[in-house]
Amino acid sequence: MNEPPAPDPDALLKAAQRAARGRLKIFLGAAPGVGKTYEMLGEARARVAAGTDVVAGVVETHGRADTMAMLDGLERVPLRQLQWQGGTLAEMDIDAILARRPALVLVDELAHTNAPGSRHPKRWQDVEELLAAGIEVFTTLNIQHVESLNDVVASFTRVRVRETVPDRLLEAADIQVVDLPPDELIQRLKDGKVYVPAEASRALAHFFSPANLSALRELALRRAAQSVDAQMLDLVRGLGLPGQWPVAERILVAVSDHPGCESLVRTAKRQADAARAPWTALNVVTPASRAAQAQARLAATLALAAQLGGEVAHVPAPDILAGIKAHAAQVRATQIIVGKAQRSWWFKLRHGSLVDRLIRETPGIAVNVVPIEGPVPAASAALGRPVPLAGWVWTLLMVAAATLVALALRSGLGIANVSLLYMLPVMAAATLFGLNAGIMAGLASALAFNFFFLPPIYTFTIADPENWLAVAVLLGVAVVTSQLASRIRAQADLAATSARDNAVLAGFLSRLTRIAENDALAQTITTEFARQFDCQAVLAGPGPDGPAQLAASEADVALDTMAQAAAGWALVRGEVAGHGSATLTASDWLFRPLPGASGPLAVLGLRREDGRDPVPPDQLPLLAGLIDQAALALDRARLAGEARQLARVEERDRLRATLLQSVAHDLKTPLTIIQAAAAELERGSTPALIATVRAEAERLKRFVGNLLDMARVEAGALHPMPEPIDLTDAIAAAVHDTRHVLGDRPIQLDVRPDLPLVRLDPRLFHHMLINLLDNAGRYAAAATPLAIIATRRPDGLDLAIIDSGPGLPDGHDPFTAFRRLKGSDRSAGGTGLGLAIVKGFADAMGLRVTAANRGDDATGAVFTLHMADNLLVRTPAEALL
């Protein structure tokens, strides 16, 4: 965990983009008249003095003398005059500024709308262009023009401005707030120092009320702070720095199983809304065990938080305070909301006030204490846990043993040492069986000590007051030891639980990451959940009509109508539904959504046969963790699937394009010949052309057949229907159908009649053979011999087609579509699809097809179909006679 945190690439990218662009500085004011322009000019002059090349692009002085004076000595780029409906309007001349290329340009009134006919409708777009050109820009802006605050401002000022500036400009800018207390601003207004258009004066009178100005001022300050925070976060992430960086509001609400915590969550939501801040509902998982009912209340409270848009966090910690502190530091919370219930003075005395300690131990974080109503649930029972009967017996036995030892050694031991001896059973009992047993041991030891050793002996009277001390010490040791021991045990339990949960999560994750394929992933998810929680699990995703079952932990799981409805609800709303939730509780199943970037990816359904809650309350945090992991894995598989799909589509498109080119050529050639030959025949030309027409027609027929076959292969639309076939039949039919192509080539057939039948799709196999023979006929010269040889092998049957052609060049894969040997005669050629079809059909039927050159002296290619043993059919001897 201590390795240096890696810089966040997004943050670095943002920084890099800012570096190339010009910087933007916004002088942000709460209202007109606070002196933004003046302030901007002042800073500009300072920059001029520092040697920066500054020009004024546009500055609205509104005729005020002090502002005019500030403008003195600054270079000004003349405004551009635009003709508009008979009048003339002056706008900033962006082209002139870009041509002038200053280091810094002043552009007043960022929210200004440009005159019609300007390059950009809005001035902030001009500014973006200047920034993109690498020029630094100073500009001014009033808070009511910030887009995200437009509604808010309008709601209390009753003045809605239409000219707004997108927030992203502010996010990338340095913001300087030009602040003026409301009273002074109103005074300035009265003094006529604020420019107010005459027609708007009445509306503005209301606008400039002290209340409005205060609110606007607060907004401006807060917006500036928020912007600083965002940039600082980028900076922190970019550097990978850990550390306490205060950010804009971040609210943490600590919840427990207390029934009043729901109102606490609502309070947090309201405050978060008010501060436009993210918020988290925190459940500190302490060793204290809780009743199932309390767990259910806690789960309901957390569900409410999630529903209201809060994050939910489970943090294991030895006690509430430590958990809150740790999480507050981790998420950089600025506010913590805790509830305070009325407790007895005794409880406060024993535990101290949590609130007081929280305030003391989280400096810099505001702690809001909200009183909550309702009975306090039973306090943690970790210390005073019940002692089993055997514990009592053991305790007494140990005290008795200590007494016996002490009696035996009494002569050699002083009274003080005897009392020390009694420490042993007290500490042992406290450690092993808890506080109650420890106190019991202390009392028993004190009594035994008193009875056997303190004078007067064999009475329970204590004569010497000093000996009271010995009794008190024994009791004190019992209490302290048992406290310590139980705390250590509790922490060990917690660590063990936490380690176990982490191990489960890690194991789950590693099993999921190994699977890339969607169905297998869904299956693994259900199996894992079923195993982990010892229940039935089902995964359902969005289907064409309602939720569709993707996988189930057991084969016979089927969702009834009610379960379907609950799954649908969870899927559409992204909320928990079904058994034990707030919705459709009649269902046996509990459905939890697996969240994705845009709505639930799927829903996980869990059910127990015995009708109990599928997940015990104390395992809810683990369930949440596992669900998050499952969702991530599903999302990853979905993305991978989409990428694969895309790659397939691209590959198919590429093949189609190639095919089209190839087909166009190969189809046009025979058509041309047929057309020309027919025309010749019409004119009474030689009948020899009839043979040509016939041959070309054959060729066309073959092309079209191949195209259809290839389309089937590519579309994955091959559904082989295997049946036992006799190779003799298949070969004879193929030889018959290719007789025109093979012509006068002698064919040697070596297919023994006692070979087993082969289970193949007869039609696909026929086409394979035709294509192989056709290929041999095309590459081998006329009248060269051709052999078809079937050989029985121990592991199957090989069928070889051997030609006497030129053979295959090295490194050539003849089974790739659209590949044809260079130099092969075009006129005898085809689309080069034949062998690709052979391969496609072979794959579909489970055959293996290989190509090689002849091993003997002659040249030529050997195409072999390997039929594995499982394709062969044993010859049935019976029933034939």
Partner 1 sequence: MSARILVVDDEAAIRRLARVALERAGLAVREAENAREALLFANAERPDLVLLDLGLPDRDGLELVPLLKAKGLAVIIVSARDSTSEKVAALDLGADDYVTKPFDSEELLARIRAALRHRAGTKAIAPLVNIGRISLDLAGHIVCRDGMEVHLTRKEHDVLAVLARSPGRVVTHKALLAAVWPDVTDPPMEYLRIVVRNLRQKLETDPSRPSLIRNETGIGYRLSSD
Footprint on this chain of partner 1 (rule: CB under 8 A): 697, 701, 721, 723-726, 728-733, 735, 749, 751, 753, 757, 761-763, 766, 873, 875-876, 879-881
Q: Which of 20, 45, 220, 50 is nearest to 140 (CA)?
A: 220
Report how far apart, in Å, the C-alpha atoms of 254 and of each of 262, 264, 295 are: 11, 8, 15
| Those residues with Cβ within 8 angstroms of residue 816's Cβ, 6 or more apart along the chain or in another chain | 836
What residue type is assigned to position 75 of the chain?
Answer: E
Nearer to partner 1, 651 or 723 (CB): 723
CB of 533 to partner 1, least distance (A): 48
Q: Which residues pair with 604 in a beta bridge?
A: 539, 592
Give the CA count within 13 Å in the CB-facing half-sphere of 554. 14
Contact status, residue 46 vs residue 25, Cβ threshold 8 Å:
no
CB of 877 to partner 1, least distance (A): 9
Nearer to partner 1, 603 or 727 (CB): 727
Nearer to partner 1, 332 or 766 (CB): 766
Contact status, residue 831 vs residue 854, Cβ threshold 8 Å:
no
Backbone angles phi, psi at 627, to 5 degrees: -65, -40
Please state, in angstroms and rounded to a whole number, the distance separating the CA atoms of residues 750 and 735.
Answer: 13
Nearer to partner 1, 491 or 728 (CB): 728
For 410-440, the DSSP string reads TTTS-HHHHHHHTHHHHHHHHHHH-HHHHHH
CB of 838 to partner 1, least distance (A): 16
Token pair for residue 394?
A: 């053991």
Nearer to partner 1, 285 or 872 (CB): 872
Contact status, residue 566 vs residue 547, Cβ threshold 8 Å:
no
Contact status, residue 336 vs residue 324, Cβ threshold 8 Å:
yes
Buried b / exposed e along 247-270 (16+ C-beta atoms within 10 A) = bbbbbbbbbbbbbbbbbbbebbbe
Nearer to partner 1, 223 or 767 (CB): 767
CB of 712 to partner 1, least distance (A): 11
CB of 763 to partner 1, least distance (A): 5
Please state, in angstroms and rounded to a whole number, the distance separating the CA atoms of residues 517 and 521.
Answer: 6
Nearer to partner 1, 464 or 729 (CB): 729
Q: Which of 103, 2, 99, 9 is nearest to 48 (CA)?
A: 103
Nearer to partner 1, 544 or 753 (CB): 753
CB of 679 to partner 1, least distance (A): 17
What residue type is assigned to position 10 of the chain?
Answer: D
Nearer to partner 1, 349 or 879 (CB): 879
CB of 674 to partner 1, least distance (A): 13
Nearer to partner 1, 167 or 737 (CB): 737
Mode of pairing for the β-strands spanning 279-285 and 251-255: parallel
CB of 790 to partner 1, least distance (A): 10
CB of 797 to partner 1, least distance (A): 15
CB of 613 to partner 1, least distance (A): 53
| Those residues with Cβ within 8 angstroms of residue 728's Cβ, 6 or more apart along the chain or in another chain | 751, 753
Please state, in angstroms and rounded to a whole number, the distance separating the CA atoms of residues 39 and 45.
Answer: 10
Nearer to partner 1, 448 or 769 (CB): 769
Please state, in angstroms and rounded to a whole number, the distance separating the CA atoms of residues 538 and 614.
Answer: 12
CB of 725 to partner 1, least distance (A): 7
Total number of residues shown for the chain: 881
